[in-house]
Amino acid sequence: MDPNDLDPRFQHLGRDLLLTPFFQAADGDSLDLATDPRGGVTRDDRVDFDRAVGPGALKQALVMRLLTPVGSLSELAHPAYGSRLGELIGEISTPFTRAKARAFVLEALAAERRVAEVLAVDVRTAEGANDRLLIDVQVTAVGGGDPISLGLEVAL
pLDDT in tens, 102-153: 999 999 999 999 999 999 999 999 999 999 999 999 999 998 889 999 988 8
Q: For residues 76 and 89, which has the higher predicted lDDT (pLDDT)?
A: 89
Residue 91 has pLDDT above 80, yes or no: yes
Pick the closest to residue 153 from 23, 2, 24, 57 (CA basis).
24
What Å distances lie between residue 7 and 4, 18, 155, CA to CA?
9, 17, 36
Domain map of the chain by residue range?
A: 8-155
How many Cβ atoms are within 10 Å of 68's Cβ, its own excluded? 18
Pairing assessment for the beta strands 148-155 and 24-25 based on DSSP bridges: parallel
Q: CA-to-CA distance for 117 and 139, rounded, in angstroms?
A: 6
- The tens digit of pLDDT for each residue in 23-51 reads 555 555 555 545 555 555 555 555 556 66
- The tens digit of pLDDT for each residue in 48-71 reads 566 677 788 888 889 889 988 998
Residue 130 φ then ψ, to 5°? -70, 0
Q: Which CATH architecture has domain 8-155?
A: Roll (3.10)
Q: Please, which pLDDT band fits residue 1 given cuts at 50, 70 and 90?
A: very low
